[in-house]
Amino acid sequence: MEEKTQSHHTSKHKHKHSPNSKSRTPPLLHKPPPFHHVHTNPLPLPSYPQQNLNLFSSNLHYYYYYCFYSQFHNSLPPLLPLPPPPLLSLPPPLQQRFHKSLSVSPVVERKQQQQHQQQQKKKQVSEHESNSRNIKVSGSIGTELAEEALVVAKRPDSGGQQGSVIYLLANHILVKFDPLQRIYHYNVDISPQPSKEIARMIKQKLVETEQSSFSGAVPAFDGRQNIYSPVEFQEDRLEFFVNLPIPSCKTMVKNGDLLEKQTQKNHIDKLFKVNMRLVSKFDGKEQRKEGEDWAPLPQEYVHALDVILRENPLEKCTSMGRSFYSNSMGGSKEIGGGAVGLRGFFQSLRQTQQGLALNMDLSITAFHESIGVIAYLQKRLEFLKDLPRNKGRELSLEEMREVEKALKNIRVFVCHRETVQRYRVYGLTEEITENLWFPDRDGKQLRLMSYFKDHYSYEIQYKNLPCLQISRTRPCYLPVELCMICEGQKFLGKLSDDQAAKIMKMGCQRPNERKAIIDNVMAGPVGPSSGKQTREFNLEVAREMTLLKGRILQPPKLKLDRPKNLQESRVFKGIRVERWALMSIGGSTDQKSTIPKFINDLTQKCEHLGVFLSKNATSSIFFEPSHILNNISLLESKLKEIQRAASSNLQLIICVMERKHKGYGDLKRIAETRIGVVTQCCLYTNITKLNSQFVSNLALKINAKIGGSMTELYKSLPSHIPRLFRLDEPVIFMGADVTHPHPFDDCSPSVAAVVGSINWPEANRYVSRMRSQTHRQEIIQDLDLMVKELLEDFYKAVNKLPNRIIFFRDGVSETQFKKVLQEELQSIKTACSKFDGYNPSITFAVVQKRHHTRLFRCDPDHENIPPGTVVDSVITHPKEFDFYLCSHLGVKGTSRPTHYHILWDENEFTSDELQRLVYNLCYTFVRCTKPVSIVPPAYYAHLAAYRGRLYIERSSETNGGSLNLSSVSRVGPPKTIPLPKLSDSVKNLMFYC
pLDDT in tens, 98-147: 333 333 334 334 444 555 555 544 444 344 344 444 544 444 444 443 44
End of a domain among 210, 241, 275? 275
**pLDDT band at residue 669, thresholds of 50, 70 and 90?**
very high
- Regarding whether 472 and 595 lie in a shared domain, the answer is no
Q: Which helix (H) or strand (E) holds 183?
A: strand 183-191
Same domain assignment for residues 362 and 439 = no
Percent of the chain with pLDDT strictly greater than 70: 79
Angle (CA) 218-220-222 rounded to 5° is: 150
Q: Tell me, yes or no, whether 502 and 461 share the same domain.
A: no
- What 3-state class would DSSP assign to 823? helix
Q: Where are the alpha helices (DSSP H) in 243-359?
A: 299-316
Is 867 within the bounds of a domain? yes
Does the pLDDT at position 73 exceed 50? no
481 and 496 assigned to the same domain: no
Determine, yes or no, domain membership for 499: yes
Strands laid side by side in the 546-552 sheet = 766-773, 750-757, 731-739, 804-810, 841-848, 898-905, 881-886, 869-871, 546-552, 164-170, 855-857
Domain termination site, one of 213, 243, 275: 275
Amino acid occupying residue 436: L
Band of pLDDT at residue 167, cut at 50, 70 and 90: very high
Residues 850/871, Cβ–Cβ less than 8 Å: no
The Cα–Cα gap between 512 and 76 comes to 61
Q: Report how far residue 755's alpha carbon sits from residue 627's, in angstroms, rounded to the nearest whole number.
A: 35
What is the reported pLDDT for 522?
94
Check if the beta carbon of residue 360 is closer than 8 Å to that of residue 347: yes
How far apart are the C-alpha atoms of 652 and 986, rounded to whole Å? 11
Q: How far apart are CA 79 and CA 480, in angstroms?
A: 16
Residues 458 and 498 in one domain: no
591: CATH? 3.40.50.2300
Domain match, 324 and 450 both: no
Does residue 338 lie in a domain region? Answer: yes
One domain for residues 793 and 921:
yes
Residue 621 domain boundaries: 576-705
Measure the CA–CA gap between 528 and 276, rounded to whole angstroms: 26
User: Exposure of 467 by Cβ count < 10 A (0-12 exposed, 13-18 middle, 19+ buried)?
Assistant: buried
pLDDT band at 8 (very low <50, low <70, confident <90, very high): very low
Instruction: Classify residue 137: in a domain, yes or no.
Output: no
Q: Name the residue type at position 855.
A: L
989 vs 581: CA distance, rounded Å: 19
Residue 812 shares a structural domain with residue 920: yes
Assigned domain for 128 exists: no
Q: Is the domain of 804 the same as that of 728?
A: yes
Cα-based distances in Å from 861 to 164, 361, 550, 899: 19, 21, 18, 25
Residues 798 and 942 in one domain: yes
What dihedral do alpha carbons 279, 284, 287, 292 form, nearest 10°?
Answer: 150
Q: Does residue 565 have a pLDDT over 60?
A: no
Give the CA-trace dihedral at 882, 888, 890, 891, to 10 degrees.
-170
Find how far residue 35's CA is from the centre of its chain: 45
Total number of residues shown for the chain: 993
On the 0-12 / 13-18 / 19+ scale of CB atoms within 10 A, 228 is: buried
The whole-number pLDDT of residue 824 equals 97
Task: Give the model's confidence band at 61: pLDDT under 50 very low, under 70 low, under 90 confident, else very high.
Answer: very low
pLDDT of residue 257: 57
The answer to whether 521 and 345 have CB atoms below 8 angstroms apart is yes
Residue 602 — very low, low, confident or very high, per pLDDT cuts 50/70/90?
very high
Distances (CA, A) of 60 to 147, 202, 660: 58, 22, 68
The answer to the question of residue 148 being in a domain is: no
Main-chain phi, psi angles of 923, to 5 degrees: -90, -5
| Chain mean pLDDT for the chain | 83
The reported pTM is 0.83
- The number of angstroms, rounded, from the C-alpha of 147 to the middle of its chain's C-alpha atoms is 28
Q: How many CB atoms lie within 10 A of CB 585?
A: 25
Q: Is the pLDDT of residue 335 over 80?
A: yes
User: From CA 885, how far away is CA 899, in angstroms rounded?
Assistant: 7
pLDDT band at 972 (very low <50, low <70, confident <90, very high): low
Quick: pLDDT tens for 456-488.
999 999 999 999 999 888 889 999 999 999 999
Is 146 within a domain? no
Instruction: Determine the number of helices (DSSP H) and then strands (DSSP E) in the chain.
Output: 26, 37
User: In the chain, how many domains are there?
Assistant: 5
Helix 817-833 to helix 783-798 angle, to the nearest 10 degrees?
50
Determine if residue 370 is left, alpha or beta; phi over 0 gives left, psi from -120 to 50 gives alpha, anything else beta: beta
Q: Is 118 helix (H, G, I), strand (E, B) or coil?
A: helix
Q: Which of 220, 244, 275 is the last residue of a domain?
A: 275
Note whether 201 and 249 are same-domain residues.
yes
The answer to whether residue 469 is domain-embedded is: yes
Inter-CA distances, 383 with 121, 376, 468, 896, Å: 74, 13, 19, 39
Is 365 in the same domain as 398?
no
Mean pLDDT (whole number) for 844-872? 93
